Amino acid sequence: MSTYFISDIHGCYKEFRMLLKQSSFNTKKDYLWIAGDLVSRGPNSLDVVKYLYSLKDRVKIVLGNHDINLIAVHAGVKKNKKENCFDEFLSSSDSTNLINWLRCQPLLKVDEKRKIIMVHAGISPQWDINIAKFCALEINYFLSGKNYSVFLQDIYNNKINFWQLNLNPLDKLRYAINAFTRMRYCHPDARLNMSYKQSPSFVKYPLKPWFLIPSNISKFYSIFFGHWSSLKGTYIPKPFFALDGGCCWGEELIMFRWEDKKWFSQAFLSK
């Protein structure tokens, strides 16, 4: 039995299946952990989600910002844009069933035995593990509930960028969504910066990548995350594992096997 970690497939179905074949992934014995952004930008989001759905308990998923965007578009909360590449998915007879499956997926996956965390964008440096778990469970409760479209209408807010215990309940969830699915940089006081997306080599002090801000959680867990393809070539300290290889931008899909600490990669295939 092996455990594989991958992120940001972004509808690149051919590359994804080739990577699984290259690594000898066994659907009956192995487990696949995916750090979000299954969909959008690439050409075959529907095929990616249908395949993962078929794996049942062999796949462990956390939602990324593009996955939540798909759910919001399907619910009519957000407008569909051409760059989403959602048309095939939305017109499929399977779309509602697959959306209902997606919106029941968490934003945080924790393996306490192996001390592993998986998120899409990151873990707030201001949190301890109990706060992170609580926020993830609260978001999952609302997103998987029957009034999820109302929740999605209220959840987007870039101004909520600093965690405080006296935040009202909705603002706590707004902050958590930003941290779990969209965070890249922080100020020295751990306040989120939601503007910059470039490589750290182009962003100057005082901003720092979130994983360089001291935190309690990173002392005890290995943390897998995606979301940030421009980190390629950047030094990533232990215990962090960056999984976004930028396949949808013409680069590569990457995957990590936990047991022997081996990396696999599959280059983007031209259309």
Band of residue 182 on the pLDDT scale cut at 50, 70, 90: very high
What residues have CB less than 8 Å from 115, skipping those under 6 apart?
220, 221, 222
Using one digit for the tens of pLDDT, what is the confidence trace for 144-164?
A: 999 999 999 999 998 999 999
What is the C-alpha separation between 78 and 71, in angstroms, rounded? 9
Domain boundaries, the chain: 3-267
Is the model's pLDDT at 233 over the cut of 90?
A: no
Q: Report the distance separating Cα 230 and Cα 245, nearest Å.
A: 8
Q: Give the mean model confidence (pLDDT) for residues 232-238.
A: 88
End-to-end CA distance of the chain: 34
pLDDT tens per residue, range 48-78: 999 999 999 999 999 999 999 999 999 999 9
User: What is the pairing mode between strands 192-193 and 208-209?
Assistant: unpaired
Q: Above 80 in pLDDT, residue 87?
A: yes
Domain 3-267, CATH homologous superfamily name and number: Metallo-dependent phosphatases (3.60.21.10)
Q: Distance between CA 194 and CA 123 in Å, rounded?
A: 14
What average pLDDT score do residues 92-113 get? 97
Quick: pLDDT tens for 104-136.
Answer: 999 999 999 999 999 999 999 999 999 999 999
pLDDT for 113: 96
The mean per-residue pLDDT over the stretch 181-204 comes to 93
pLDDT, tens only, 14-41: 999 999 999 999 999 999 999 999 999 9
Q: Where are the alpha helices (DSSP H) in the chain?
A: 13-22, 45-55, 65-74, 87-91, 95-102, 129-143, 148-155, 169-181
Find all residues with CB under 8 Å of 162, minimum gap 6, and list them. 126, 175, 189, 190, 191, 192
Mean pLDDT of 69-90: 96
What is the C-alpha separation between 222 and 63, in angstroms, rounded? 19
Residue linked to tokens 């569909």: 80
Query: Residue 270 — very low, low, confident or very high, per pLDDT cuts 50/70/90?
Result: low
| Residue found by looking up tokens 């759910």 in the block | 71
231 torsion bin: left (phi>0), alpha (psi -120 to 50), beta (else): alpha
